[in-house]
Chains A and B, each alone.
Chain A
Amino acid sequence: MARWREAALPLLLFALLGAAPWIGFGEGYVLTLLARAMILGIAALGLHLLVGGAGLVSLGHAALLGLGAYAVVALDAARITEALWVAPAAIGGGALFALLTGAVAVRTSGVQFIMITLAFAQMAFFTAGSLSVYGGDDGYTLYGRTEILGRRWLEDRLVFHYLCLGLLAASWGLVVAILASRFGRVLRAARENALRVAALGFNPAPYRLLAYVIAGGMAGLAGALLANATEFVAPSYLAWQRSGDLLFMVILGGLGAPHGAVLGALAIVLLEEWLGHWTAHWRLIFGPLLILSVLFLKGGLAGLPAQLRGAGRG
């Protein structure tokens, strides 16, 4: 019973996103925004597995996302646009980068982990900027969106909307399942006390590394979707500011439950847009809003219902 209650809010959220095009949010630019939020939500879910699950705060998550996007670019430049190739390349690219850099990074924790992930991400960022075949700093415009079995379904806004939603829901289910599994239990335990976990006979490093690789794969997938959403890829995809944005989504959304990452992604993407319409100085409002939410929303957005219930009672 308790498990159903925990799933109620995320399922409602996915249902709303599914209904969005039919309840007045079907305009092209709104769908573009929602797709962007859902795509970043997929990457944020992977980051939630690291931050909320394993206790590893990464400040280089955008590099994994960028790797996925540049996998699309590399194949596009070779005139390969078939999803059967593009998707595995993007997921594999993110996962491989996570494996290679994670092998070093997961041996550390705390501030060291933040610095190492940031350093690797900056290396990837500058490498992307120097790839003149893919436009260097100017970026690369795709010839077209990825095709699925030779069909250009992704050109259709609604198809793309539901593809993103389906992958978002699947990613959420994956993270929920992993966190509840034996693997996730070791991961969560090592977050609370790594020494205790080692005294039980577990070496935390391979568990953390695998979590990092899974998150890398998810970020790679998100990168491929983002490249398709904008049909353009630039090194800024890998910039540390974007890593910070992803981290903010996860923390604003709430570390207590994976759907917090989805809420955080939606909130930040939509808020950015809404405030941006209002004033050019929207960041001056956005910053304090984030600070207030971190100070007063204990469990993030995902913990808001419980906090309101508690306040109603008290």
Chain B
Amino acid sequence: MADSILALEGLRKRFGGLTVTDDVSLSVAPRGIHAVIGPNGAGKTTLIHQISGTLRPDAGQIRFAGREVTHLPLHRRARLGLARSFQITAVLPGFSALENVALAVQAGAGSSFRFFRPAAGEARLNAAAMAALEQVGLAPRAGVKAGALSHGEKRQLELAIALALRPKLLLLDEPLAGAGPEETERLILLLGRLKADYAILLVEHDMQAVFALAEAVSVLVYGRLIASGAPEAIRADPAVRAAYLGEDA
């Protein structure tokens, strides 16, 4: 446990009478992909919100990079190296792809209380942003307004933004959702490349992708973790098969 980048201990969240996160404990290794799967309504997104800081848990603890962050707001956790992508694409539609990423670079490049120099002309920000766009294969579309990108390209842009933060952990909430077959293939290849350098917590519906990519899988059902371990073990787990994989297999 000591060398994990993220550790959840006894996390609990209730909405009225409904327990959406029920005593969840989880630990994520500093490299590779840890997938969280579960049927609709299992509380995956609620869990992501608590990890990223948009929701406060009612009980339990979140440790990130050796620090307790349970009560830190979203923007403070981001500063510590926690980058998240959004399930519903949240790129800035009026900004070019490059400027979307440059804003992320800017977050880690000194004060943003600077008032007179045009930010679009800062070579240092643009170079790092371009590098992140190249990493996800979006460099040729750098000048295009994000609102005009295809759905798959927006997902790539989300990744580039997260990478530009040079994060310790990437929280990816359904990065493949709504992508076409070709785009999905491209994104899976990309995630496979990224996991060598980053810790990734991946929430995903695409089982093929999950079992092709993840080093560890945790299964969430009605807010509860029913199993956690290597993909082969999860695939063989009778409880998981009964609760979840049965639908698909």
Contacts and interface: CB of A to CB of B under 8 A. Distances in A.
Interface of A: 177-178, 180-186, 188-189, 192-193, 195-203, 207, 210
A199 B95 contact: no
B106 interface: yes
Contacts, number: 90
28 contacts: A177-B116, A178-B116, A180-B120, A181-B116, A181-B118, A182-B112, A182-B114, A183-B115, A185-B99, A185-B106, A185-B112, A185-B119, A186-B112, A188-B95, A192-B93, A192-B94, A195-B74, A195-B90, A196-B86, A196-B90, A196-B92, A199-B52, A199-B86, A200-B104, A200-B165, A201-B79, A201-B108, A202-B112
Nearest to A180: B118
Interface of B: 52, 54, 73-76, 78-79, 83-84, 86, 90-95, 99, 102-104, 106-108, 111-120, 122, 161, 165
A45 to B, nearest CB: 15
Contacts of A178: 115-116
A208 to B, nearest CB: 13
B117 A181 contact: yes
A204 B245 CA distance: 42
Contact of A184 (B78, B93, B119): B119
A180 B119 contact: yes
B110 to A, nearest CB: 9
Nearest to B161: A200
B90 A200 contact: no
A215 to B, nearest CB: 14
Contacts of B104: 200
A100 to B, nearest CB: 20
Given A182-B111, A185-B103, A199-B84, 7 more contacts: A177-B116, A182-B117, A183-B115, A195-B90, A198-B74, A200-B107, A201-B107
A183 B113 contact: yes
A196 B85 CA distance: 9
A38 to B, nearest CB: 23
